[in-house]
């Protein structure tokens, strides 16, 4: 490969900067091109660090702008550096990205995800990586324990969905590899195709289970090491650089000494990182990190009462860990939040606003703004006019009364293009002011607002004064007798149609007396 041509074509002349001499470029273990000049590598941080081989390297805030080779590739080359930060022009696989992150200083926190939404939230929160937990996937997908019940196909399918939703590296839980060495190879290749940047393989017998539960057993030393060798061979055959994390459960199944022997053997077999589950003390964690120098160590902080002491990321980094997984934080708080919400709904209440995001917030999280942008980008005039949706004309009006609420829509345009008043006439022009798109945007904004329902008795006593998200109007009106006969949704839509952008906070949407004489007020906050 002509590295100089690729670099010059991607970066061009660039901004002027200091000319830095280099002896030559070399490819590091993670695939990154490194400039070997007094052990210096061009990166992003401004600190010195030791490479895995002990070479001291400096990371600069500069970005390579131009590279020129001498007549002989063995001769020194010239590198032009600039302080301007730009994205690296060469596409990088997720596995290569993970390797680069692991080579950089600092510990990498990996909250465990279990579906596309949870993985997306981890990425949006600013974490560098995530771990697809078999425990959490089994719970979310099967409502079943992590006891070997979930299959390879189900885990790969879940991984495809997760990796399609995010751009950052995901490490997938591959359990025992789902069989013998040949099954392990198939698993590795399947995880590569699913988009994983890394995978975790363990030495438990099948069916396996969570390492912090009772009754753990492991396969023989030979079979355990053979699984890692098969994984390394599969990676090579697939032409991939996926990161292999080798896990041993021998600490609880046999002894600490056996677990330490196994992770050293895993490292010798080609594992990129090693992990002993359910270490029981800080001293055991320290002993683990002294094994297989130069191979990354992974910690597992089982929240809520596991066997391993819970330490801060800085404490773990001081001991020697490079990755720390948090397996239960997301699935655990999700379970508790759903239980609380269901208890509230069953008792006739809504979850408190402090725990319930607005409808607008939920839409933002799941990607509606981006969807609308893409929809507008690819919209065409013909697709709008040929839409099969009914249109509401600009002169539509909505009326309501205490007894009945009725929408009056004159000259409704029906899908086949004929007027509701004159079936024989053809509609020559589509009314655009209330197209499905504009109507959806108008009403969606209203439904993300908060309403205050106030009920005042004949004697002036306030019987009810509560604020609720507009999206819960239907359930609220059926639960509160005072407003059970009121079509609050229609009132909202009428207010939005009549007032449009003039609708402001503290606007009174409805004010009337019910048959019992109580005064009912619906106020937009």
Higher-confidence residue of 185 and 34: namely 185
Question: Could you tell me the pLDDT band of residue 383, with boundaries at 50, 70 and 90?
Answer: low
pLDDT, tens only, 17-32: 333 333 334 444 444 4
Burial class (CB in 10 A: 0-12, 13-18, 19+), 108: buried
Residue 195 and residue 160 in contact, taking contact as beta carbons nearer than 8 Å = yes
* pTM beyond cutoff 0.75: no
Determine which of 105-109, 211-215, 409-413, 418-422 has the lowest per-residue pLDDT on average: 409-413
Q: Is the pLDDT reported for residue 167 higher than 50?
A: yes
Rounded-to-integer distance, Cα 410 and Cα 453, Å: 32
Mean pLDDT of all residues belonging to the chain: 75
Size (the chain), residues: 525
pLDDT, tens only, 113-125: 999 999 999 999 9
Question: Could you tell me the pLDDT band of residue 326, with boundaries at 50, 70 and 90?
Answer: very high
308 in any annotated domain: yes
Distances from the Cα of 466 to the Cα of 353, 413, 452, 459, 496, angstroms: 11, 40, 5, 19, 22
344 in any annotated domain: no
Would you state the pLDDT for residue 518? 83
Q: For residue 58, what is the enclosing H or E element?
A: strand 56-58
pLDDT, tens only, 283-308: 999 999 999 999 999 999 999 878 89
What percent of the chain is predicted at pLDDT more than 90? 50
Range of the domain at 179: 94-334
Residue 198 and residue 95 in contact, taking contact as beta carbons nearer than 8 Å = yes
356 in any annotated domain: no
Average of per-residue pLDDT across 46-65: 38
115 in any annotated domain: yes
**80 phi and psi angles, rounded to 5 deg:** -100, 125
Question: Could you tell me the pLDDT band of residue 64, with boundaries at 50, 70 and 90?
Answer: very low
Tell me: do 254 and 124 sit in the same domain.
Answer: yes
Higher-confidence residue of 162 and 49: namely 162
Q: Is the pLDDT reported for residue 441 higher than 70?
A: no
Boundary-marking domain end, from 334, 358, 386: 334
Of 76-80, 355-359, 439-443, 470-474, highest mean pLDDT: 355-359
Q: Is the pLDDT reported for residue 237 higher than 80?
A: yes
Average of per-residue pLDDT across 224-228: 97
Question: Could you tell me the pLDDT band of residue 67, with boundaries at 50, 70 and 90?
Answer: very low
Question: Could you tell me the pLDDT band of residue 515, with boundaries at 50, 70 and 90?
Answer: confident
Q: Which residues of 174-312 form beta strands (DSSP E)? A: 198-202, 243-248, 273-276, 296-300
Q: Is the pLDDT reported for residue 370 higher than 70?
A: yes
Would you state the pLDDT for residue 462? 87
Would you state the pLDDT for residue 460? 87
22 in any annotated domain: no
Would you state the pLDDT for residue 492? 65
Average of per-residue pLDDT across 443-462: 75
Boundary-marking domain end, from 288, 312, 334: 334
Both tokens of 519, joined, read 């005064």
Both tokens of 35, joined, read 């400039």
Distances from the Cα of 478 to the Cα of 46, 359, 446, 481, angstroms: 62, 20, 20, 7
Average of per-residue pLDDT across 455-459: 86
Sign of the four-CA dihedral 155, 162, 126, 42 = positive
Q: Is the pLDDT reported for residue 107 higher than 90?
A: yes
Q: Give the domain CATH number at 169.
A: 3.20.20.60
Q: Is the pLDDT reported for residue 420 higher than 80?
A: no
* 209-214 long-range contacts, CB within 8 A, separation 24+: 209/145, 209/146, 209/147, 209/148, 210/135, 210/145, 210/146, 210/147, 211/247, 211/249, 211/252, 211/277, 211/278, 211/300, 212/252, 212/277, 212/278, 212/302, 212/306, 212/307, 212/308
84 in any annotated domain: no
pLDDT, tens only, 168-196: 999 999 999 999 999 999 999 999 999 99
Q: Tell me how many domains the chain contains.
A: 2
Segments in 55-114 forming alpha helices (H): 94-103
371 in any annotated domain: no
**377 phi and psi angles, rounded to 5 deg:** -65, -40
Average of per-residue pLDDT across 39-63: 37
Boundary-marking domain end, from 334, 365, 399: 334
266 in any annotated domain: yes
Question: Could you tell me the pLDDT band of residue 498, with boundaries at 50, 70 and 90?
Answer: low
Higher-confidence residue of 518 and 335: namely 335
Determine which of 85-89, 310-314, 334-338 has the lowest per-residue pLDDT on average: 85-89
What percent of the chain is predicted at pLDDT more than 70? 62
- With CA atoms as reference, report the closest residue to 412 among 384, 442, 390: 390
Would you state the pLDDT for residue 486? 58
């Amino acid at each position: 490969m002509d590295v100089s041509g690729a670099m010059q074509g991607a970066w061009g002349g660039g901004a002027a900067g200091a000319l830095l001499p280099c002896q030559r470029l070399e490819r590091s273990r993670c695939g990154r091109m490194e400039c070997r000049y007094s052990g210096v590598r061009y990166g992003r941080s401004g600190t010195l660090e030791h490479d895995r081989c002990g070479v001291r390297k400096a990371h600069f805030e500069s970005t390579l702008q131009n590279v020129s080779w001498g007549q002989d590739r063995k001769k020194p080359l010239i590198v032009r550096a600039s302080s301007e930060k730009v994205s690296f022009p060469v596409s990088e696989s997720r596995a290569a990205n993970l390797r680069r992150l692991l080579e950089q200083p600092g510990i990498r926190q990996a909250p465990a995800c279990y579906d596309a939404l949870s993985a997306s939230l981890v990425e949006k929160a600013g974490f560098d990586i995530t771990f697809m937990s078999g425990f959490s996937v089994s719970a979310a997908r099967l409502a079943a324990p992590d006891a070997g019940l979930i299959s390879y196909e189900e885990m790969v399918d879940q991984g495809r969905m997760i990796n399609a939703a995010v751009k950052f590296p995901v490490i997938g839980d591959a359990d025992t590899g789902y069989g013998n060495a040949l099954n392990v190879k198939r698993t590795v290749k399947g995880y590569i195709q699913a988009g994983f940047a890394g995978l975790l393989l363990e030495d438990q017998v099948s069916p396996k289970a969570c390492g912090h539960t009772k009754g753990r057993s492991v396969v023989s030393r030979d079979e355990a090491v053979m699984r890692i060798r098969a994984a390394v061979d599969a990676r090579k055959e697939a032409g991939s650089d996926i990161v292999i994390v080798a896990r041993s459960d021998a600490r609880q199944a046999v002894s600490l000494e056996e677990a330490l022997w196994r992770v050293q053997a895993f490292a010798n077999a080609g594992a990129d990182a090693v992990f002993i589950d359910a270490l029981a003390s800080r001293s055991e964690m320290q002993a683990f990190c002294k094994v297989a120098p130069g191979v990354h160590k992974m910690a597992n902080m089982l929240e809520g009462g596991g066997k391993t002491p819970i330490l801060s990321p800085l404490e773990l980094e001081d001991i020697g860990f490079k990755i720390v997984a948090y397996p239960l934080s997301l699935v655990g708080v999700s379970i508790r939040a759903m239980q609380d919400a269901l208890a509230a709904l069953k008792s006739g209440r809504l979850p408190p606003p402090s725990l319930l995001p607005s409808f607008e917030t939920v839409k933002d999280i799941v990607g509606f703004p981006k969807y609308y942008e893409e929809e507008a980008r690819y919209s065409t005039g013909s697709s709008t006019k040929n839409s099969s949706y009914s249109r509401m004309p600009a002169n539509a009006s909505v009326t309501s009364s205490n007894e009945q609420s009725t929408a009056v829509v004159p000259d409704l345009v029906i899908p086949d293009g004929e007027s509701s008043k004159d079936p024989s006439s053809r509609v020559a022009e589509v009314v655009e002011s209330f197209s499905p798109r504009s109507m959806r945007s108008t009403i969606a904004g209203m439904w993300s607002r908060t309403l205050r329902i106030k009920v005042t008795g004949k004697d002036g006593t306030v019987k009810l004064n509560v604020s609720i998200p507009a999206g819960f109007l239907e359930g609220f009106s059926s639960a509160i007798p005072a407003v059970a006969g009121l079509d609050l949704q229609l009132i909202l839509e009428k207010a939005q149609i009549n007032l449009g952008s003039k609708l402001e906070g503290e606007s009174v949407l409805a004010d009337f007396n019910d048959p019992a004489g109580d005064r009912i007020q619906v106020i937009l906050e």
